[in-house]
């Protein structure tokens, strides 16, 4: 006989068996009772009240009706409107010929049809005229009559019926019923919502005793958590709303707490085990650059540089994520950080994901380095062989202090004399293995300090989860003189007005971006729309006097670079492009960004594209072009874009709308731990409480050696908490 344990195979539960167990395993990845009980309902149906038939409407999500069977009609293979089959009592019904059963029920207020396409023989024998049942399901309308297709059917419980129920079965009519993730294959195999509830009740009775408490008693008291057994029983079969909320809080807290505990413990171990290069000096080059900056640093930039300085002189390796909206001044922070390394006798390397971005960085960095005398170089895939040889030599002998480049920097023949700092821009675009090669290029006996930067605003809750073991700095202030971008929404009917506006801007000496969505580089429709759009623009803006450049992924790098350079240098008035320009084109003279089919972009990507304008001193505009018909979600996105320029606000909204696993550029391969009940979009308050608790635990007992934390140490040994380190370059 199977033991009462969480490791028991689900096939031994009543109503499951080997075939259904195999299907549940394939569809939901669940094999044991313990895994099944950690599958939580995603919503609940309140079955505490009834709806009169007269009040039922097809727009209701579900109804529960208490009614008496009036008549049952059986239909053969003909159309739905055909006359019912009249069974002769002397001649048994041939159920293999029956395709549909209609059961007319009434409750005194009206009549309703219950329709069955499956299980007809069993239901026909059960639903006899004159018998009363409770019917539950989604109402719909057909031929002017309200009906329910395949309702759940329960007998009307007698006043003392509760005592006659088997232990494995849930109450006949529980007030709060959980709804679980399902699939068509599960439903077709008879594992309906009702069956799932029965299986779950059996699992609780068989396996709940096998769960041991995962949280120490002192944490449960401090944080107001109910015991695990109470939480598991009430998350599946809530006693009442208060019990459900307590169960939810406990399970969400537990999930987020162990995630944070794992990340923070990893951070502690790294800071203890990995010595860093101690950089106590600021250096003359830093001071010269700082004193000759074109405008003063913002308070946010000063705060971030102080945080970085403290890391670099601490004696432990810096692992810091720098978040800053487009145009917030991250490049300036990167240069000043690199100069701290140079001032301490080390080299710094700045790696960008594309040649365009690397060139852009290098161009800006040269201006900032001009007063310092620090030697710098640019190394990309298109660097000429003769130049490459010289750069390799200057890196090896240490004469080049700051190198900017792309993947070319991680080639085996690139050797540094004294690498002390690695700065990675848009770090999510690099694979872990690519980055690990930079980590190994240090030749001074200690790993280089690491600063990873992103212009993609990441919601705080997501940053704490994806990068929980990094120190996070945020530049949340724009430099002085940066003007807000006016964002407008327009449909095709406004296109003539848009073209007039573009001509007016070009007449003032400005330039215009026009961006088309590109979901997949092989999608023909995307290229057709871009090519058709480019042709239309050239037709309305003919040469001369207008010049239009076109950039898309099917062009060679040389053609792409030529066209982008023409626009950046002001030789083209309009750049028609796919979203390849999201990162890396800095054209201060461009004042208009037109985004075609804006409804096909996510909020974060729309915000990134908008950040390509407003980089100069002139007033800038972003025009979101859409079709007339928009989904509710698309309309909400467009309205948000027009209402705010705050990238972090938009990122929070994006996560609420699309979920954390789908945000543009915020992760490499999903969340570090699959969340079963908590939501990063909705449970930020619980996450903060869980993180504060985890920090307090580790501050008092960094290695969890205290006997009170034995359960925590045991829980962290599970495979799911062996989280890949997102912070390091290794």
Question: What structural domains and CATH numbers belong to the chain?
Answer: 45-179 (2.40.50.140), 284-314+329-454 (3.40.50.300), 485-644 (3.40.50.300)
Specify burial of residue 430 (Cβ count, 10 A radius: 0-12, 13-18, 19+).
buried
Quick check: 112 and 105 in contact, CB under 8 A? yes
56: its two tokens: 């039922």
DSSP letter string, 701-715: -TT--SGGGHHHHHH
- pLDDT for the residue 241: 87
H helix intervals, 344-454: 355-369, 385-396, 432-439
Query: Counting every residue, how long is the chain?
Result: 730
Residues in the chain with pLDDT values less than 50: 1-2, 79-81, 88-90, 161-173, 431-432, 519-521, 661-670, 725-730
389: its two tokens: 């040889």
Distance CA 404, CA 654 (A): 33
- pLDDT for the residue 184: 83
DSSP letter string, 649-711: HHHHHHHHHH-GGG-TTS-SSS-SS--SS--TTT-HHHHHHHHHHHHHHHHH-TT--SGGGHH
Quick check: 285 and 373 in contact, CB under 8 A? yes
- Give which of 379, 374, 373, 361 is closest to 438, Cα–Cα: 379
Distance CA 296, CA 302 (A): 10
- 425: helix, strand or coil: strand
C-alpha 227 chain-centroid distance: 31
Determine which helix (DSSP H) or strand (DSSP E) holds 323, and give its type and residue range: strand 319-324
560: its two tokens: 């792409």
Residue 155 phi, psi (nearest 5):
-70, 155
Q: Which residues contact 532 (CB under 8 A, 6 or more apart)?
A: none
Distance CA 185, CA 351 (A): 48
Quick check: 70 and 105 in contact, CB under 8 A? yes
Q: Which residues contact 118 (CB under 8 A, 6 or more apart)?
A: 150
What are the beta bridge partners of residue 65? 135
Distances from the Cα of 142 to the Cαs of 77, 80, 673, in angstroms? 19, 11, 46
- Give which of 391, 24, 378, 287 is closest to 181, Cα–Cα: 24
- 59: helix, strand or coil: coil
- Give which of 448, 439, 466 is closest to 323, Cα–Cα: 466
- pLDDT for the residue 40: 94
71: its two tokens: 């008549």
Distances from the Cα of 542 to the Cαs of 250, 315, 546, in angstroms? 65, 62, 6
Quick check: 705 and 716 in contact, CB under 8 A? no
Q: Which residues contact 711 (CB under 8 A, 6 or more apart)?
A: 212, 213, 214, 215, 216
CA angle in degrees (0–180, nearest 5) for 635-659-241: 100
Determine which helix (DSSP H) or strand (DSSP E) holds 100, and give its type and residue range: strand 100-106
Distance CA 655, CA 725 (A): 23
287: its two tokens: 């001071």
- 260: helix, strand or coil: helix
- 341: helix, strand or coil: helix
- pTM for this model (two decimals): 0.65
613: its two tokens: 């304008």
Quick check: 554 and 563 in contact, CB under 8 A? no
425: its two tokens: 């821009």
Q: Which residues contact 434 (CB under 8 A, 6 or more apart)?
A: 407, 410
């Amino acid at each position: 006989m199977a033991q009462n344990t969480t490791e028991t195979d689900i096939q031994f539960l009543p109503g499951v068996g080997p075939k259904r167990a195999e299907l549940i395993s394939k569809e939901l990845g669940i094999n044991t009772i313990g895994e099944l009980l950690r599958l939580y309902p995603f919503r609940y149906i309140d079955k505490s009240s009834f709806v009169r038939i007269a009040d039922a409407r097809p727009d209701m999500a579900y109804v529960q009706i208490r009614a008496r069977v009036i008549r049952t009609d059986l239909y053969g293979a003909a159309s739905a409107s055909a006359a019912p089959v009249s069974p002769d009592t002397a001649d048994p019904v041939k159920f293999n010929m029956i395709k549909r059963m209609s059961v007319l029920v009434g409750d005194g207020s009206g009549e309703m049809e219950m329709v069955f396409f499956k299980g007809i023989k069993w239901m026909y024998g059960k639903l006899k005229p004159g018998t009363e049942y409770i019917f539950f399901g989604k109402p719909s309308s057909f031929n002017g009559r309200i009906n329910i297709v395949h309702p759940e059917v329960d007998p009307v419980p007698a006043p003392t019926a509760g005592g006659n129920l088997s232990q494995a079965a849930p109450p006949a009519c529980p007030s709060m019923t959980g709804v679980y993730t399902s699939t068509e294959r599960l439903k077709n195999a008879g594992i309906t919502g009702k069956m799932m509830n029965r299986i779950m009740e059996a699992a609780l009775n068989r396996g709940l005793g096998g769960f041991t408490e995962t949280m120490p008693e002192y944490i449960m008291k401090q944080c107001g958590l109910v015991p695990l057994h109470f939480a598991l029983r009430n998350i599946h079969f809530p006693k009442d709303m208060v019990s459900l909320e307590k169960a939810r809080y406990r399970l969400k807290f537990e999930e987020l707490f162990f995630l944070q505990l794992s990340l923070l413990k990893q951070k502690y171990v790294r800071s203890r085990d990995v010595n860093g290069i101690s950089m106590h000096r600021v250096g003359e080059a830093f001071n010269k650059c700082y004193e000759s900056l074109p405008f003063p640093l913002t308070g946010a930039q000063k705060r971030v540089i102080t945080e970085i300085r403290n890391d670099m002189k601490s004696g432990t390796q810096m692992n810091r994520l720098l978040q800053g909206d487009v145009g917030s001044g991250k490049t300036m922070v990167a240069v000043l950080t690199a100069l701290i390394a140079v001032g301490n006798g080390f080299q710094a390397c700045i790696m960008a994901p594309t040649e365009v971005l690397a060139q852009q960085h290098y161009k800006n960095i040269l201006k900032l380095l001009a007063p310092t005398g620090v030697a710098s170089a640019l190394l990309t895939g298109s660097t000429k062989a003769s130049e490459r040889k010289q750069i390799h030599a200057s890196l090896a002998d240490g004469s080049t202090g700051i190198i900017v480049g792309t993947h070319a920097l991680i080639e085996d023949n690139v050797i540094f004399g004294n690498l002390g700092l690695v700065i990675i821009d848009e770090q999510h675009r690099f694979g872990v293995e690519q980055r690990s090669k930079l980590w190994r290029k240090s030749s001074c006996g200690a790993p280089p300090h690491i600063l990873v930067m992103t212009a993609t605003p990441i919601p705080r809750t997501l940053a704490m989860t994806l990068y929980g073991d990094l120190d996070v700095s945020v530049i949340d202030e724009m430099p002085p003189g940066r003007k807000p971008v006016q964002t407008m929404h327009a449909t095709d009917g406004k296109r003539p007005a848009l073209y007039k506006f573009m001509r007016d801007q070009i007449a003032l000496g400005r330039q215009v971006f026009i961006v088309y969505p590109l979901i997949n580089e092989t999608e023909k429709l995307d290229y057709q729309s871009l090519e058709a759009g480019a042709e239309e623009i050239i037709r309305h803006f003919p040469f001369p006097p207008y010049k239009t450049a076109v950039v898309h992924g099917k062009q060679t790098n040389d053609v792409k670079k030529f066209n982008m350079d023409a626009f950046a240098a002001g030789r083209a008035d309009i750049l028609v492009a796919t979203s390849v320009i999201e990162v890396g084109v800095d054209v201060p003279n461009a004042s208009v960004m037109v985004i075609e089919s804006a409804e096909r972009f996510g909020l974060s990507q729309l915000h990134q594209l908008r950040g390509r304008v407003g980089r100069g001193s002139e007033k800038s505009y972003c025009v979101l072009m859409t079709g007339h018909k928009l989904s509710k979600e698309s309309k909400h996105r467009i309205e948000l874009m027009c209402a705010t320029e705050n990238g972090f606000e938009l990122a929070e909204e994006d996560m609420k709308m699309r979920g954390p696993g789908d945000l543009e550029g915020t992760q490499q391969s999903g969340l570090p731990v699959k969340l079963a009940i908590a939501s990063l979009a909705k449970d930020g308050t619980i996450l903060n409480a869980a993180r504060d608790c985890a920090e307090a635990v580790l501050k008092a007992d960094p290695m969890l050696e205290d006997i009170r934390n034995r359960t925590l140490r045991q829980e962290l040994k599970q495979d799911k908490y062996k989280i890949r380190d997102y912070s390091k370059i290794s």
